[in-house]
Amino acid sequence: MPGRGWLARWPVIRQLTGEDGRSDAARSSRTDALRPRTEDAGTVARSICPYCAVGCGQLVYVEDGPDGRKVTQIEGDPDSPISRGRLCPKGSASKQLVTHPGRQTQVLYRRPYGTAWERLDLDTAMEMIADRVARTRRETWEETHEGNVVRRTLGIASLGGATLDDEENYLMKKLYTALGAIQVENQARI
């Protein structure tokens, strides 16, 4: 048994003197000082992985920092009977999905025939989009088709839904149907 000095506690010495290098002898004072990223999380949200449809459980760790709240870690949820705490490479990388620097956080606008993006205020964008939907709907409204009532527009279409929530799909289908837009499709078709 080595002595108690810092040299004796050095992992190299401990391993050379016969302690198992795959166990405690590999620990250094730095190792001992390491803390899990999740330790300082203010809240932990129970979530589900957003990639494939297996539906693995995720725990999302959020820390309150000086710059506001931020996700510090996403881990598998050991309670899940589906995933038992495991995540695949994509699920394990999903903290980057929500924090990567390439994520867009601003509305962008390209005017017709424009050659560059422009900035646009979100409220303005919403009003402009509503104007276009209302106008295109009216301009392309089809009351009858070959003598039958159809009450629809083929001028407005939508694509996407499989990456979204059930509640979101519901509002989409409800609104589009009321508007008479029927060309609504998602990834289930592909």
Partner 1 sequence: MAECHPVGFQWVMEAKARGARVYHVDPRFTRTSALADRHLPIRAGSDIVLLGALINHVLENELDFREYVLAYTNAATIVSEDFRDTEDLDGLFSGWDAETATYDPRSWAYESTGEQPSAEQAEGGRRDADAAGSDTFGAGGPAAPPSPSTDPTLTHPRCVYQIVKRHFARYTPELVERLCGIPRDGFAELAEAVTANSGRERTTAWVYSVGWTQHTVGAQYIRTASILQLLLGNMGRPGGGILALRGHASIQGSTDIPTLFNILPGYLDMPHAGRHRGLDHYLELEGGATGFWGNRRSYLVSLLKAWWGEAATEENDFCFGHLPRMTGDHGHYTTVMGQIDGTVKGYFVVGENPAVGSSGGRAQRLGLANLDWLVVRDLALVETATFWLDGPELETGELRTEDIGTEVFFLPAASHVEKEGTFTNTQRLLQWREKALDPPGDCRSELWFYYHLGKLLRKRMTDDEIDRPVRELTWDYPEHGVHREPSAEAVLREIGGVGPDGRALSSSTQLRPDGSTTCGCWIYCGVYADEVNQAARRRPRGEQSAVALEWGWAWPANRRILYNRASADPEGRPWSERKAYVWWDAERGEWTGDDVPDCEIGKPPGYVPPEGAHAQDALAGTDPFIMQSDGKGWLYVPAGLVDGPLPAHYEPHESPVANPLYAQRANPARRTYHRPESPYNAPDGRFPYVLTTYRLTEHHTAGAMSRPLAYLAELQPELFCEVSPQLAGEVGLDNGGWATIVTSRAVVEARVLVTGRMRPLRVGGEVVHQVGLPYHWGWGGGGLVTGDVANDLTPLVLDPNVYIQEGKAMTCDVRPGRRPRGRAALELLERYRHG
Determine the 3-state secondary structure of 179 from DSSP: helix
Work out the end-to-end distance of the chain between its first and last CA atoms, rounded to an integer number of angstroms: 66
Q: 94 near 48, Cβ under 8 Å?
A: no
Burial class (CB in 10 A: 0-12, 13-18, 19+), 86: middle
Q: How far is the CB of 31 from partner 1 (least distance, A)?
A: 24
Burial class (CB in 10 A: 0-12, 13-18, 19+), 47: middle
Q: Looking at beta carbons only, is 3 or 89 nearer to partner 1?
A: 89
Q: Looking at beta carbons only, is 14 or 94 nearer to partner 1?
A: 94
Q: How far is the CB of 34 from partner 1 (least distance, A)?
A: 21
Q: How far is the CB of 30 from partner 1 (least distance, A)?
A: 24
Q: Looking at beta carbons only, is 28 or 158 nearer to partner 1?
A: 158
Q: How far is the CB of 48 from partner 1 (least distance, A)?
A: 5
Q: Looking at beta carbons only, is 8 or 128 nearer to partner 1?
A: 128
